[in-house]
Amino acid sequence: MPLIDSYRRNVNKFREDIASLIKKKALEGKNLSSISSRIQASRKTLLSTKNLSTIKSKNSEISRYSDQYAKSEKKIADIDAKISKIELNLARELAKLSKEEISEQNKRSKQNAQIQQAHQLNLNTLQNTVNVHGLKLRELSNLPKKITVLFFASNPVDQGQLFLDEEIREIQKNILSSKHRDSVKLESCWAVRPVDILQGLNEFQPVIVHFSGHGTQEDELVLMDNQHQSKTVSIDAIVQTMHASTDSIRLVFFNTCHSHRQAEKVVDQIEVAIGMTTSISDNAARIFAAQFYGSIGYGNSVKKSFEQARASLMLEGIPEENTPKLYIKNGLNAENIFIVKP
């Protein structure tokens, strides 16, 4: 039993005991008054008679009544003593009860404050969630109904030949198999020369730019010259090109060897970029890209699409899942970036 309940029970018992004793005292007081009246009556008779027998009888009554009166007074005194003792105990118990009630009130106040704090925290969390979802919904509502992926392919004759036609075929297949296939349009430019890049960007206004081909360890993109030989493009030239064409571009995919530095610098201007930390096999590049665009076509975020593309390499037993790397512009979160409206 809690202390406060024990104190209250004791207080009630003490009050009941006091009330009972007061009642007894009142009854004894009446008895005392009755005895006093009898004594007075006997004395009055004694004063008015000269009869010896009567005098003797009244003296005897007065003596008997006086004994009864003394006993009654003693009972009243005993009751008063008991009442005083119980009142002292009552006062002590009331003090304990008051202290415990204050303690309980403080506990309740503290608990109420904690509940209010938790409630406010829940409200704030809920409001933040609503705000975040509201922001996401607004962002999603602003997404275009249809996006263009521009595939730049360059395969100079003096480089190792890549199956770029197989790559775009797999990408197209996965896009067409996705839930939102009608929202993604794949355009391509082949045998790309440096001048073709700006022409393609202006013509197609892509949301995603995809470079497929070769890259150098000096962070250069390998394109072609008019004789189908290699012509390298510097990282600064790539960044400047993206900077001059950022109105629609949100993601740049460098599916070329040694392209991580290019991707890292491009996100100074573009939201997201993908690059390769080292050389990547033709087969791995094809499988990774096809799965990435297929996942994008299902309305998944860039982060989820990237992770699914890495997982596809692992499922195929190709140990190059750590070669692709995702780069995000400062202040953004890839989990919240959607290219196709889900």
Domains 3-117 and 144-336 share a fold: no
Encode pLDDT of 287-297 as tens digits. Answer: 999 999 999 99
What 8-state DSSP symbol labels residue 180? Answer: T
What pLDDT is stored for residue 324 in this prediction? 97
Instruction: Give me the residue spans of the domains in the chain.
Output: 3-117, 144-336
Beta strands in the chain (DSSP E): 147-153, 184-189, 208-212, 214-215, 221-224, 230-233, 251-255, 272-276, 324-328
Dist. CA 56–CA 75, nearest whole Å: 29
DSSP string, 101-126: HHHHHHHHHHHHHHHHHHHHHHHHHH
Q: Which two tokens stand for residue 134?
A: 């509201």
Q: Which two tokens stand for residue 168?
A: 């775009």
Please state whether the predicted TM-score (pTM) of the whole model is above 0.75.
no
CATH class of the 144-336 domain in this structure: alpha beta
258: left (phi over 0), alpha (psi -120 to 50) or beta: left
Architecture in CATH for domain 3-117: Orthogonal Bundle (1.10)
Dist. CA 104–CA 4, nearest whole Å: 8
Q: Which two tokens stand for residue 40?
A: 């007075």
Residues in the chain, pLDDT under 70 = 1, 130-144, 246
Encode pLDDT of 204-244 as tens digits. Answer: 999 999 999 999 999 899 999 999 999 999 999 998 998 88
**Nearest Cα residue to 260 out of 235, 283, 281:** 235
Annotate 279-304 with b (16+ C-beta within 10 A) or e (fewer): ebeeebbbbbbbbbbbbbbbbbbbbb
Sign of torsion, CA 139 249 256 267?
Answer: negative
What pLDDT is stored for residue 278 in this prediction? 95
Q: Is 279 helix (H, G, I), strand (E, B) or coil?
A: coil
Amino acid identity of residue 261, one-letter, is R
**Nearest Cα residue to 211 out of 273, 283, 296:** 273
